[in-house]
Structure 1
């Protein structure tokens, strides 16, 4: 029997930032809302079923307009898990949160955006990532 494989290429046309912050996600979302005059709201946790029938739950906040979608994810899984790598993006496990910005957003350059994020007292470090270079970038497709 002949086997066929589906080969698809996804467009990773969004900006991706990793944030280091030891605080709870609702506090980080509140500061982002305050600083950027938006309204990130808690969405249903994302559930990934991994090989071996293990599930990974990821906390998810979202703000959408007609032209853009901004998502804040906690990089570490919610609750207790027996998964060896309980991260949304194990490539960047050093970062507590992932900020995904898709569509037309602000007029700030990447460095100015990072500097603005660093004005949040809860955020210790921010780095921009190229989604194409991440091994587990498929976890960001919804």
Structure 2
């Protein structure tokens, strides 16, 4: 029997940052709120059921205005997982958190945000990524 596969190519229109931090997610969100004058609010955890392979539970925080949206996502699953790689973005598993910014202007401009993230004491390292180059970029589409 012939098997057909559907190949979809997504265009990601957001900026993506990887953050290395030993802080807990609520502490990092609080720090970002104070330093960047945001209002990151805890949202319901994102749940990815990967059929028979397992499940990912991802903690996330959201700051939304009329023009821009910023999400703080934990890269590693909150719940214990049977998956080999229990990460939202297994390509960049070295990073503890991901920050997704759509329509970033002003203080949420990519270069300015990277500078501010790197200056925070809770952040050991921050880096900007092109989400279109990631293998598992569809995990970042909400």
Tell me how large the CA RMSD over aligned residues is: 1.9
Output the CA distance in 1 between the equivalents of 2:140 and 2:13: 11
Counterparts of 1:107 and 1:63, CA distance in 2: 13
- Superimposed CA distance per residue, residues 50-87 of structure 1 (whole angstroms, 9 cap, x where no aligned partner): 14251110001001111111000000000211111100
In the alignment, the residues of structure 2 paired with residue 37 and residue 112 of structure 1 have an alpha-carbon distance, to the nearest angstrom, of: 14
SS at match of 1:118: helix
Specify every segment of 5 or more residues in structure 1 that has no aligned partner in the other structure, as ranges.
none
- 1:110 matched to which residue of 2? 110
- TM-score, normalised to structure 1, is 0.90
Return the alpha-carbon distance in structure 1 between the equivalents of residues 86 and 112 of structure 2. 31
Return closer, same or farther for 1:89/1:42 CA change in 2, 3 Å cut-off.
Answer: same
Q: Distance in 2 between matches of 1:128 and 1:77?
A: 21
Deviations 1:67-108 (A, max 9, x none): 111000000000211111100000000000000000243256
Structure 1 segment 18-97 matched on structure 2, within 5 A = 18-97=18-97
Count of residue pairs brought into register by the alignment: 142
1:128 maps to which residue? 128
TM-score by length of 2: 0.90
Q: 1:107 to 1:41 in 2, by over 3 A?
A: closer
Mapped partners of 2:3, 2:125: distance in 1:
47
Poorly superposed stretches of 4+, deviation over 3 Å: 1-9, 107-112
Contact 2:101 2:108 in 1 (8 A): no
